[in-house]
Chain A
Amino acid sequence: MTTERKIVVINAGVSEESSTRRLAGRIAQQSIDTLGAAGIPATVTMLDLGPLATEIARSLVSGFPTGPVSDAIARLADADAVVAATPVYKAGISGLFKSFADLIDNDLLIAVPVVLAATGGTARHAMVTDDQLRPLFAFLRALPVPTSLYAAPEDWGSPELGKRIARAAGELAALLRTDAPRQIADDNWGGYRHRFAGQATRAEQGATDVDFDTDLMRLATGGPAS
C-alpha cells in the first residue's frame, strides 16, 4: 500500500473569511485530487497562524518556542509537502508569516516540496511571491515548485487562477510521486548544518545518532582538529 503523503498548509491570513486561507485550501485540495488520481493518498493539515499570533510573538521575545508554537513546528516537521500562503501587507509578506518562519529550525524543511502562494489587494504586488517567499524557502533549502501563485481581487473570477493552481498542484504531485525529495535529504543530510536536539525529523537527539567523526568532536577529545 502506498504511504499516505502529509501536506501541511501554513496560512498567515487572519481575516474571516480569509482569501489567503481560501487560496491555500484550493491548492491543497487540487494537490490531493491530483495525487489521488495517481493512486497516492494524501491528507491535509491546516496550520492557521492567526490564533497563534500572541504565542509567536512571545516565542520571538523569549528565544524559545512556547508549547503551542512548538506543536505547530512539530506538525510542519512531519510534512511531506507544504503549501505556504501569506497575505501581502505594505508591499511584502505578512509579518506574522515571517515571524513564524523565524522560529523554525534552519534544517526543518530541507528538500521538502513547497507551493508558494500569496494574496493581495492589487495585481501590482504579484512578484512578492517570487521576490520574498522564494528566497526565504531557498534559505531553508526547501524545494519550491516552479509555479508560484498570486491572487488579486480580479483573479477570483478568472478560470486562469484555477489553471495556475492545477499547474502548481501538478508540479507538487510530480515531486511527491518520486522519492527524490527524501533522497536529497537522506543522501546529503550530513552536509547541512544542524542543531542538536532540534525539531527536524532527522535531527540528532542522543548518543546513538550524534556524529562523533567530525573535526570538532576530535578536538573535544583532546585530538587535533584535523
Chain B
Amino acid sequence: MQFGIFSVGDIAPDPVTGRTYSEAERIDNIVRVAKRADEVGLDVFALGEHHNPPFIPSSPPTLLAYVAAQTRRIVLSTSVTLMTTNDPVKIAEDYAMLQHVAKGRLDLMVGRGNTVPVYPWFGKDIREGVALALENYNLLHRLWREDVVDWEGRFRTPLQGFTATPRPLDDVPPFVWHGSIRSPEIAEQAAYYGNGFFANHILAPNFHFKRLVDLYRQRYAHYGHGTPEQAVVGLGGMSFIAPRSQDAVERFRPYFENYPMFRGSRLEDHMAATPLTVGSPQQVIDKVLTFQEGFGDYQRQLFALDGLALPVETALEQVELLGTEVVPVLRRELESRRAEGVPDAPTHASLVTAKYGDGEPRRPRPNPNRGDNLSGTMPYQDSDPAVQAKFPVVG
C-alpha cells in the first residue's frame, strides 16, 4: 500500500492573514512540501496540471524533475496529466525523460481535466473530451512500447515510422493510472490495458465513486489481468490533522469556509458527507479504514493537504503528522486486513522484475544518424528487423 500527497498548486488569499503567496513563493513551497514528504517516508508526491492562474503547475515535468533531484525515495506522479489538451507525443517524450532522470521513480496519472477554457487554448474541443483522452492514451501506450510507430487517428497528424525518444528507462514504461470521476469509458480503458484506476475522492459524497471503481474492477478481470480484487485502485482524500480534534476543526475552518470553491458550505457538512477528514490522527486513520471497507483493498491513498491557502508552515506540519502519526498505523492496519493475493501498486523495480526476472534490462543504443534525421525501421542496434514502418511518400 502506498501513501502520499497530491497537489494542484493552487494559490488563494490566506483568510487569517490576508496575504497571498506570489507564484515564486508557491513554487518554492511546493518543492519544500515534496521534500518533506520524502523525508517523513511518504511514498508518492503527485502534481496536477493547470494552465491558468491561480494555479502554478503548468509544466509538471519541469517541476517534478527538480523534485526528483532533491529527493531520494519518493515516487513522483501527476494528478492529473491532461490527456485531452497535450500532444501524446510530447507526453511520451517528457515523461520518458523524467523517468530517466528520476531513475524510475515515476508513474503517471492521466485524465481529462475539467477547465472549460483550456481546450480552445490548445486548439481542442471540450465536447470531444472523452474521445480525446481515449485516443491520445491509445497512442501514448504504443509510443512507449513500440520503437517504431505508424499511427493515424482523429485528433493529431498521422505518424509514420516515428520513434519516441528516449525509450523508457529499461524499456519499461512508467505505470499509468487513469483518473476519472464520471466516465465509464475511462474505467474501461484502464481495465483494458491493465492500468490503475484512481478516483479523486474529494468534493463528492462518501462512496460516490464506488460504482465506477467496481466497474473498473469487473472489467479488469474481464480482460484477464487478474481477479476484481487484484485490480489496481487508488483513492484521494482531503485531511487536516491536529493532535486534538477540536483544534483541527478550529484551525481548518477559516481556510475551508473561505476558499472560493467552498463558500456557502459548512465544514461540518463536508466532514459528515464527504471523505474530508478534519481531526486527530486517530480520526483520520478511522476514516481511511472506512475507505477500505467500502472500496475493498486498494493500492494507493493520496491526500490533498497543501492547498486551500494554507501557510507553507502548516502544510509542512500536515505532511509531518501524516507521515509520522497516521501513515505508520494505516500501513500496519491495512496490511493486516489485506486479502491474500492482492498486489501492491507496480513500481519501476517490480515492473523490471516482472519483465526480465534476473535478466539484464534492455537499454537500447541508437544506430547512427543516416543524415536525414529519420531513424528508419531500425532505430536501435537491437531493433527487430521484422518491423516494417511506412514512410511518407513525396511526389
Contact = CB atoms under 8 A, between A and B. Distances in A.
B9 to A, nearest CB: 22
B134 A206 contact: no
Interface string A213-226: 00111011110010
A196 B264 contact: no
Nearest to B211: A197
Interface string B261-291: 0011110011001000000000000000000
A157 interface: no
Interface in B133-147: 134-135, 138, 141
Interface stretch (B53-61, B180-188, B239-247, B340-348): B180-188
A99 to B, nearest CB: 13
A63 interface: yes
A60 B211 CA distance: 23
A79 to B, nearest CB: 23
Interface in A38-86: 57-58, 61-64, 66-67, 70
Interface in A191-224: 195-197, 204-207, 210, 212, 215-217, 219-222
A210 B269 contact: no
Contact of A220 (B189, B214, B269, B270): B189
A102 B119 CA distance: 25
Interface residues of A, number: 26
B50 to A, nearest CB: 19
Contacts, number: 74
B154 interface: yes
A207 B222 contact: yes
Given A61-B264, A62-B203, A63-B203, A219 B185 contact: yes
Given A196-B184, A196-B212, A212-B188, A219 B264 contact: no
A219 B131 contact: yes
Contacts of A225: 131, 135, 154
A108 B222 CA distance: 30
Summarize B's interface: helix, strand, loop or mixed: helix
Contact of A221 (B131, B154, B189, B214): B189
Contacts of B141: 222
B215 A64 contact: no
Contact of B269 (A58, A195, A206, A212): A58
Interface string B192-231: 1100000000011100100110110011001000000000
B273 A217 contact: no
B130 interface: yes
Contacts of B212: 196-197
A81 to B, nearest CB: 28
B183 A196 contact: yes
A42 B270 CA distance: 39
Nearest to B264: A61
A207 B185 contact: no
Given A64-B205, A207-B215, A219-B131, 16 more contacts: A61-B264, A62-B270, A64-B204, A66-B205, A196-B182, A197-B212, A205-B211, A207-B214, A207-B219, A207-B222, A210-B184, A210-B215, A220-B192, A221-B192, A222-B192, A225-B154
Interface of B: 130-131, 134-135, 138, 141, 154, 182-186, 188-189, 192-193, 203-205, 208, 211-212, 214-215, 218-219, 222, 263-266, 269-270, 273
14 contacts: A58-B269, A64-B205, A64-B208, A66-B205, A66-B269, A196-B184, A206-B214, A206-B218, A207-B214, A210-B215, A216-B130, A219-B134, A221-B189, A225-B154
Interface of A: 57-58, 61-64, 66-67, 70, 195-197, 204-207, 210, 212, 215-217, 219-222, 225
